[in-house]
Amino acid sequence: MIKLSKKIFILFLVSVFCVNFIGCNKNMENQKLEVIKGMPDYSEYEQTLSMPIGAWLGPEPTLENYRLVKEAGIDFLNAADSFGALDFATCVRAAEQAGIKVMPTLHGRDYKTCVGEEYSSPAFMTFNFYDEPAIDKYEWFAEQKAEFEVDYPDKIFYVNLNPMYVAESVIKSEYVEHVRLYLDTVKPSMVSYDFYPLLSISGYSKLHEKFLRNIEIFAELTSERNVDFWAFMQTMSYTSDFDRRLPTEADLRFQAYCYMAYGVKALQHFCYQTPPIGTEFRATDYAMIDRENQPTPIYGYAKNVNLEIKKFDHVYLSFNWFGNMTTRGSNSTKANDNFINLENALNSHERISSITSSEDLLSGFFKDEQGYDGFMFVNFTDPAQNKTNDISVEFREADKVIEYVKGEATVKELENGKYTYSLAAGEGIFVIPVKM
């Protein structure tokens, strides 16, 4: 994807007045704008830009099972991992027939120990070199990557990093350094991490208060280094340090759009197949597919969200992320913990003269290579509260918007640049203001 030039990025930063932790609802001072006139056309990207959607823990590798994966809008599986010793060659054969890709998790093994025809198949995506490593593995990753890129020049080097709620004694580092050191030591083209924010505390739903801060860290560090950032979504209930609640469709949509508001390039589900009962996984927990290999309600939720994203991913991916702003809703009785924990939220955008919302709102700022602005607006309330968020945005130099709602594009006329929308619980929309 084409990245914005350093000059354009600096011009954008100059337009920003200050850094803010809570957000801004006030009218913003008029600024002289250079706005491209006319309607943008993203049809040329339909065949070239698409968001990979993956999942952890594949089912028994049969054609029937893998076709069900494909139908859910999932492109690849972490298919043979520590939960089940699936034969990877069998996974590859089923994936070839179903039209998906698969990867095995090495858990610290040297990738050169993996030999066989399956590793030359187009259905072999790459190796998952490690899941949630400490920093003492990073030098070894750098060595593995150097050799791997010679042997597999068309494959990505894949490692999945820890979330920030993991203790520093586990990652053996302060968290931001954990991520920065990985990027600077290994120098990957992409990096993945997981964070599962849907909590149940004494029977009450709650969002983990560091969810957005963790996204912010990855978005900023990867953007600085021109590295794609991938993330996992919570697609099941389970227990570990906290009880994670069973997600609804709104919960899945909420996670996806929060990540996309920060420019994520790929999404992954944890999990596809329900893991065996154990320390973290109870008999009552389930993922997209249950332990009898049958689709659960979460399968339908995830499928709906995946296919929604795929309708407009080529548009979204043609933009580059710049930053984010938060807005405290008029109905909010206290400051949002997730907003407070952000360190680099912006206070304004040159294209917006004012923005208000009835509930807390997360805004993501984007620009494409032609110079068009894009905005991701996300209802940042716990979806379990089922709150509608009425937003009002006054755009400068705009008489229309292209809005992407549930992935579908609609052109709306604006009066005096004013755009309004009611975001459902968990909903996010992508909006492109235009001047004709």
Could you read off the pLDDT of 189-213 as tens digits, one per residue? 999 999 999 998 878 899 999 999 9
Angstrom distance (rounded) from CA 232 to CA 256: 9
Predicted confidence band of residue 31 (pLDDT cuts 50, 70, 90)? very low
Give the per-residue pLDDT at 189. Answer: 98
Distance CA 399, CA 433 (A): 8
| Domains of the chain, each with CATH number or no CATH | 6-42+319-434 (no CATH), 50-316 (3.20.20.80)
- Check pLDDT > 60 for residue 5: no
Q: Are 63 and 94 in contact (CB under 8 A)?
A: yes
Whole-structure pTM over 0.85, yes or no? Answer: yes
- Helices 297-316 and 249-260 sit at what angle, rounded to 10 degrees? 20
Residue 79's pLDDT is 83
pLDDT, residue 32, reads 62
Average pLDDT over residues 226-254: 94
What letter would DSSP give residue 424?
P
Q: Kindly report the average pLDDT of the chain as a whole number.
A: 91
- If we measure between CA atoms, which residue out of 394, 365, 364, 366 comes closest to residue 378? 364
Per-residue model confidence (pLDDT) at position 87: 87
pLDDT at 80: 67
**With bands split at pLDDT 50, 70 and 90, how would you rate the model's confidence at 8?**
very low
Q: What percent of the chain has a predicted confidence (pLDDT) above 70?
A: 91
pLDDT at 85: 56
Banded model confidence at residue 241, pLDDT cuts 50, 70, 90: confident
Segment 139-158 mean pLDDT: 98
pLDDT tens-digit map of 90-131: 999 999 999 999 999 998 899 999 999 999 999 999 999 999
Model confidence band, residue 81 (pLDDT cutoffs 50, 70, 90) = low
Helix or strand or coil: residue 436?
Answer: coil
Instruction: Report d(CA 102, CA 355) in Å as an integer.
Output: 44
Residue 240: per-residue pLDDT: 76
Instruction: Determine how β-strand 53-56 pairs with β-strand 266-270.
Output: parallel
The pLDDT value recorded for residue 107 is: 86
Residue 428 CB: number of other CB atoms within 10 A? 27
| Among the listed residues 408, 265, 297, 409, the one whose alpha carbon sits nearest the alpha carbon of residue 72 | 297
What would the 3-class secondary structure string for 280-301 be?
CCCCCCCCCECCCCCECHHHHH
pLDDT above 50 for 367:
yes
Nearest 5 degrees, angle CA 393-CA 397-CA 398?
60
Rounded mean pLDDT, 269-287: 91
The dihedral of CA 305, 123, 102, 59: what is its sign?
A: positive
Residue 168 pLDDT > 70: yes
* Range with lowest mean pLDDT among 28-32, 254-258, 398-402: 28-32
The C-alpha atoms of residue 286 and residue 296 are separated, in whole angstroms, by 8
Q: What is the mean pLDDT of residues 339-347?
A: 97
User: In the prediction, which pLDDT does 151 show?
Assistant: 98
Residue 156 near residue 265, CB atoms below 8 Å: no
- Residue 155: its pLDDT value, please? 98
User: Where do we find the tokens 């860290």?
Assistant: 217
Cβ-proximal residues to 380 (8 Å cutoff; 6+ apart), any chain? 212, 258, 326, 336, 338, 339, 359, 360, 361, 362
pLDDT of amino acid 204: 86
Residue 319 main-chain phi, psi, to 5 deg: -105, 160
Q: Can you give the pLDDT at residue 226?
A: 97
Residue percentage of the chain with pLDDT more than 90? 83
Residue 420 has pLDDT above 60, yes or no: yes
